Amino acid sequence: MGTVPQRAARFTYLNFEIDGSILRGHYECGGVTYRETVEFSHPLDVNSDAVRAVGELWFLLAGLSYYKARAAHTIDVGTLPLGSAGRELFEASITDGLGEFAYRNGLDLSDVAIVGGHEVIATAPALDRHSVLIPFGGGIDSVVTVRALSPQLSPALFVMSPPSGRFEPLEETAALMHLPVQRATRTLDPQITTPNAHVFNGHVPVTAMVTLLATISALASGRGGVVMSNEHSASVPNLTHGDREVNHQWSKSLSAERLIAAALAERCGDELTVASFLRDKSELWVAREFARSHDVLTTFRSCNRAFRQDRTERARTWCGECDKCLFINLVLAPFVPSNTLDDIFSENAPLRRADMEGAIRTLVGLGMEKKPFECVGDPDECAVALQVVAAMPEYRDCEHLRAIDSELSHDRNLDELLANQGGSHVPAAWLS
């Protein structure tokens, strides 16, 4: 029987530093100290109250990457400015942002106590509301955001890279956007990336951390907006465990967006806007819009195996086997010619493969398992996409698709999902 990790008593926030273009966060738990470093491609104003205030909020959330190792019962934030909105964001990042982590490790984090912290002193940075920064991952969502934004805006891309080097498919796709790029390199403490049977491991709310780093980059360059690309279905949970919803994409959800916006407003006032451009859009709407960007079809890559930290382990093509490959194939199929998709997936298009039937059934909500712990659309979106594809002549030889479609209820249709889904906090100035 393997070693079972034990929860620690206390996790402590030690120190936050800004040094030129570098942020550093220092943490301690059970006698082990951790340090995370983020280096930006442009200098940060170390005297800027706004940069420091948001940097401290990043420091708070980034600590969860190290907190998870021992899942301490008490979190001591020391003298860190917390504020009421910051505390609410932090508490939700523990209970919901670490929801999948807790579920997979059989932990109950409802008993976590947060001690320390001070009130926040609000700042009022001078920012250009028409100058925006777009976190860019090279996938269909961020491409659509870039190309759908109002031409009256002055945008730039924000790209994160690991110390092992830039991601080639992301860089190739970013180059096709023809926009300036602001960069950051995040270096995790090697103690947290080295396999260790004595600590817990699992998913953390990375997108929330990236959002805050993009905000710091925006503030440093006087930009008044950070344009995220999180669509409507990111708010849909994977499952319900007890009385709590578990959502792999919590930090991309509407709930997280509101909490982050409130915590930033508490620190920077209302001159700064951070919102998702795609919040009221379905994945099918995004796929339809992306299909019009013919120039990026051969460069983009959403397969997670292309974005591994270790450069030697990165896949050079779509693997055609993971849930992400399958999902992208499925949502693009109603809008992209099948021969083009076959080229994209190197004739290994997972949607065509009968041995992927089980994974397809899971995506559309018919499988024995719940929605995969992956950044994929909700079962309704996938079911509607499959309904369309199963009726297309190009897929007449895919009997497994028609068999699955025959079991679907067809309660929703494509036109319904191409319409706006719910509300959005996007300011009018961002819209074409």
**Same domain, residue pair 325 and 401:** yes
Burial of 290 (0-12, 13-18, 19+ CB in 10 A): buried
DSSP characters over 66-115: HHTTT--SEEE-TT-B--HHHHHHHHHHHHTTTHHHHHHHT--GGG-EEE
**Same domain, residue pair 355 and 209:** no
* Sign of torsion over alpha carbons 147, 148, 149, 151: positive
pLDDT for residue 167: 86
The number of folded domains in the chain is 2
Please give the model's pTM, rounded to 2 decimal places.
0.96
The answer to whether the beta carbons of residues 417 and 389 sit under 8 Å apart is no
CA dihedral 209, 252, 168, 346 (to 10 degrees): 160
pLDDT for residue 243: 86
Domain endpoint, select from 276, 308, 329: 276
The answer to whether the beta carbons of residues 205 and 256 sit under 8 Å apart is yes
**Same domain, residue pair 321 and 271:** no
**Same domain, residue pair 109 and 42:** yes
Which amino acid is it at 423? G
* Residue 363: partners with Cβ closer than 8 Å, 6 or more residues away: 323, 326, 327, 330, 371, 372, 376, 377, 379, 382
In a domain, 240, yes or no: yes
Per-residue pLDDT of the chain (432 residues; tens, 9 = 90+): 567 899 999 999 999 999 999 999 999 999 999 999 999 999 998 789 999 999 999 999 999 999 999 999 999 999 999 999 999 999 999 999 999 999 999 999 999 999 999 999 999 999 999 999 999 999 999 999 999 999 999 999 999 999 988 989 999 999 999 999 999 999 999 999 998 989 999 999 999 999 999 999 999 999 999 999 999 999 999 999 988 999 999 999 999 999 999 999 999 999 999 999 999 999 999 999 999 999 999 899 988 887 787 788 787 889 999 999 999 999 999 999 999 999 999 878 999 999 999 999 999 999 877 889 999 999 999 999 999 999 999 999 999 999 999 999 988 999 999 999 998 999 999 998
**Same domain, residue pair 93 and 202:** yes
Tell me the residue range of the domain where 353 lies. 316-418
Domain endpoint, select from 225, 247, 276: 276
**Same domain, residue pair 107 and 220:** yes
Helix (H) and strand (E) counts in the chain? 16, 12
